[in-house]
Structure 1
């Protein structure tokens, strides 16, 4: 049912999409967090989620063992379950009340082979087996900001432990003018993974407006040409930045380590109006 619901992190709101009978928007403190179409899980409304799906779609065919840090309405687990039958999902999120809301109101139980662990991203990752994941999705936000302890070199080292040698990491970053935070996160990921790329809409890449950037990383070579074509050909018309161009993007920014004083970017208030 549409409405406002108390959750551990404050208040969540569910809004029905009047244009799509199965469409629902989940917001937290006025910030849109997830969109799901219960009738068509392959429909992805948010631009950055479509970019993540582009990456998933170029991974070798077949079911995936996936880890998702940050639950929301479980948009990507639903997408992967629909496009790659037989996939297994571990979803990690600290907000038990939010998970219960999504389970009750947005048919989470209908997603096959999905398990939820109530824990923060750091603690939840420590309990995962070595070399157990084909896909690791890091899309965790507290309000509109990424928890800093999930952006450090120490955490990336634990993610690398969990990923298979052919596994893929996806990280959703939000940043704006100057992209100082995004540059440091990319530097952090590059310090752990040999193969890294960045996907974003050109205006966001130039720091002209606040928005989402997707970091893609793997111990194995990425399908860069396929990613470039998909990103450019989609509704978002994003760019794929890698190799020397990615080095220029980082511009000598330092990796983030546990205990560093880092200010996570906050979107301008008018962004969600």
Structure 2
């Protein structure tokens, strides 16, 4: 029997009533990640699926990658990379040691999945990383269901680009709604750092009519936009891909976020159980 709402911990893992090995990582009553212990390639969250579209398209199938995950969560993305690209070198950065301990205890990684976990701030980890040390950086950093300002600025993104190898890719999970005062400067900052950027999101979210996730990707080489469009169009919940002139028109002249001007993302509506 579940404890009363007031007695439940802020951070916990719930087992799906229909699939006991499907685990939901819940933080402050919002589902942050879902992990399938039977299938490490399973991604329940739509934004994670969109990140996976990039992972699938950025290199030939099954080729191992060097990946840095900023924000460990339930290590769902790390499990996906390990399942689809065996032999990949992966490192995950997470400040919340309680979260890591909970995942290790209740949703342990398969023995075949090797991920080094560091307990430090995402920005500090990037600033300390050697030049050209990763092929992919996935940023999924949240503090209290909000994206911190310091991982959206041009200064941070310049460090991320330094850490990527030539031809490497950057992916970030952002969220916003309404006037997009957080999202558009964050996207402008990515465009100021990389020559190629694109976003994947549902039209209602892009228009500010609904709070939700926007996955933004960037690289110093042409992005696999055609492949991303195909996957987004064929998804259970189809979404748009904006890039080039269309993306610039969407940003609409918003100034790039800097350390001096960046803000954290707005909190999700209280009624939202997952995003």
Distance 1:134 1:47, change over 3 A: same
Q: 1:67 maps to which residue?
A: 68
SS of 2:271's equivalent in the other structure is: helix
Distance 1:153 1:111, change over 3 A: farther
1:35 equivalent to 2:34? Answer: yes
Distance 1:108 1:127 in 2: 26
Contact 2:30 2:272 in 1 (8 A): no
1:163 equivalent to 2:172? Answer: no
Contact 1:176 1:210 in 2 (8 A): yes
Q: Return the offset for 1:261.
A: 5.8
Distance 1:36 1:108, change over 3 A: same
Distance 2:51 2:253 in 1: 26
Q: Which string of whole-angstrom CA distances, capped at 9 and with x for unpartnered residues, describes residues 240-264 of structure 1? A: 1000100011100011111326352
1:98 equivalent to 2:103? Answer: no
Q: Return the offset for 1:215.
A: 0.3
Q: 2:130 maps to which residue?
A: 129
Structure 2 gaps, min length 5 = 4-8
Q: 1:7 maps to which residue?
A: none
**TM-score relative to the length of structure 1:** 0.93
Distance 1:213 1:105 in 2: 29
Contact 1:22 1:40 in 2 (8 A): no
Q: Return the offset for 1:20.
A: 2.3
Q: Return the offset for 1:203.
A: 1.2
Contact 1:193 1:217 in 2 (8 A): yes
Distance 1:155 1:261 in 2: 11
Contact 1:196 1:217 in 2 (8 A): yes
Structure 1 gaps, min length 5 = 5-9
